[in-house]
Amino acid sequence: MSSDYYEILGLSREAGADEIKKAYRRKAREMHPDVSDDPEAATKFKEVSQAYEVLSDPQKREMYDRGGDPFGNGGMGGFNGFNGAGGFGGASGGFDFTNLVDAMFGQQSARGPRPRVRRGQDALVRMSLDLAEAAFGVTKPLPVDTAVLCPRCNGSGSENGKKPVSCSTCHGQGEVTHIQRSFIGDIRTTQACPTCNGYGSVIPDPCVECSGDGRVRSSRTITVKVPAGVSTGNRIHLASHGEVGPGGGPAGDLFVEVHVNPHELFKRDGDNLEMVIKLPMTAAALGTEIDIPTLEADLPDADPETATVQLEVPAGTQSGTRIAIDDAGVPRLRGGGRGDLGVTLLVQTPTKLDDDQRELLRQLAEQRDETRPEGSVQKHGRGVFSRLRDAFANQ
């Protein structure tokens, strides 16, 4: 290969940092000894790596562009094989494995110390509501257990208010480099400093309450305003009510997930409410009017005028008939208006009759010529059977 670093990576001399990285990533993949069939792949791979090492470093690149040797006495000659220290890649006799991984797989490792003050995580809590609370909305307290600002150090993490000092292990870099000997030479890997955990600084006298984290866990009670029409699975977003961040950083968000408890009378179906009313056979045959309870009856300050609604049952109503009462269901969460209240009627056949009642029914059957009726199979839509199944399931 050419000894011109730009030509090795296929770049112009005006190439920027991103172009250099992309070119190296492409060439490194092509020339890697594990994937290339070229017998000189190892040598070419080393040359590509050295070209990237020079051109990606502004100081080495400037020296190279001026005709100088960025490796002192190393140069390309020292790179064509293993040097005396058993490594390759320049005067240091080592190879930065972290840079190679970053370039080949398109990853950028975190460089330098990480900040102590960071945004907190979002939190998720669940709230149980009665059906009326979910339908009409409610404001209620909710206990939560999250990380809050440390009351002792006010988030600084220091017991006496002193500022963090530079870490003596990494000298403020937040990371340390380890060198490992291998068959291809010395491999350098970089990881977070174990002394300062990557911060680059240490707190001389950490707060005894939070151990220097600037936050502690605590139970508190917040007030949640639940809009009308929510259902199980809906989430209410409360900004900045989540976990306080490390170092007293800004709090994340809190999401309150709603769970609506089952109701003993009503079953919710979207924005509709469904209920089942048992009706005597005579009332179904003759028709009647009955008072139906509404969901408003569950409200603490229920209005007697809205707590019930009158339902007119036409004569000859059959078991399984559903009558819809408009705008008596659940208020819609979006768009306004309300769903319906569906009333499914179950006609009950009397099971205990005295002699007089039995005689009256016998006379009725004779007049209707139903003393020995012939049964017939009636085809019904799926909706009728579904309503009957749900009705019996609620009994």
The annotated binding site for Zn(2+) is made up of 150, 153, 167, 170, 193, 196, 207, 210
CA-to-CA distance for 252 and 147, rounded, in angstroms?
10
CA distance 79 to 145: 59
Within 8 A by CB and 6+ apart from 302, the residues are 296
Beta pairing class for 254-260 and 123-129:
parallel
**Token couple for 58:** 């502004």
Residues 6+ apart with CB under 8 A from 119: 245, 249, 250, 251, 252
d(C-alpha 6, C-alpha 13), whole Å:
6
Can you tell me the distance from the alpha carbon of 202 to that of 154, in angstroms, rounded to the nearest whole number?
18
Q: From the annotation, which residues make up the binding site?
A: 150, 153, 167, 170, 193, 196, 207, 210
Report yes or no: 329 and 272 within 8 Å, Cβ to Cβ. yes
Distance CA 377, CA 233 (A): 42
Inter-residue contact 38 to 47 (CB < 8 Å): no
145, 124 Cβ separation under 8 angstroms: no
Phi first, then psi: what are they for 369, rounded to 5°? 55, 45
Residue with tokens 């991984």: 101
The phi and psi torsions of 27 (rounded to 5 degrees) equal -65, -40
